[in-house]
Amino acid sequence: QNVAAKKVQYVIGVGDITNDDTDEEWAVAKAGISKMNGVVPYSLARGNTGHDSAKKFNATFPISQYQHMVKGSFNNDMCNVYHTFEVGNVKYLLLVLDCNPTNDMVDWANNVIAANPDRNVIISTHVYLYKDGTPMSLTDAYPGPDNTGDHLWEKLISKHENICLVLCGHDSSAQLALSTQVGDHGNTV
């Protein structure tokens, strides 16, 4: 209802689509999210297991139904995808990474970004910042099994000069956590 009035160009999800990964919650999520179909482009990120299992996430939102929005996928599913869009004359690449992506997923992401040097890159993933505004590390509460925020910074985000923004969810806080870091090429993320 607010797309025109607020000039919404894109809706970016950051995970935890459900609370308990039940079939009923996924049905409600599908019905709610589907209201954006044909109204505004959007992306979805999977939350951590316990909230959003990969199996139910991909069953509810199969990539076959999103091929018109998705430009590429790591494993032909919705867990790791990228989208492209323009706002005015500015070209963007939105890279959605799975919650705590594996090294293979991070390698794929590096290749996608390197192949699109003319686009400003936004990364959406569930786990990145801790509530204190620092990239989540292995010492933080529930960091996850694979690459945490600090690993993503070291292996991916700091490496590309066209990354401008990372959006995440996961860590509940009474306030919005914001952080800026300078990448290897002097760019501010």
Cβ contact 45:126 at 8 Å: yes
DSSP annotation of 106 reads: H
Can you tell me the distance from the alpha carbon of 120 to that of 68, in angstroms, rounded to the nearest whole number? 21
What is residue 143's predicted lDDT score, i.e. its pLDDT?
59
Contacts with 22 (C-beta within 8 Å, 6 or more apart), sequence order = none
Structure token digits, residue 81? 């995808």
Residues 17-64: tens digit of each pLDDT:
999 999 999 999 999 999 999 999 999 999 987 789 999 999 999 999
pLDDT digits (tens, 9 = 90+) for 130-178: 888 888 777 776 656 788 889 999 999 999 999 999 999 887 666 778 8
Q: How far apart are the first and last CA of the chain?
A: 31
b/e per residue 33-63 (b: at least 16 CB within 10 A): beeeeeeebbbbbbbbeebbbeebbbebbeb
pLDDT at position 49: 73
The tokens describing 68, both together, are 């018109």
What's the mean pLDDT in 109-118?
98
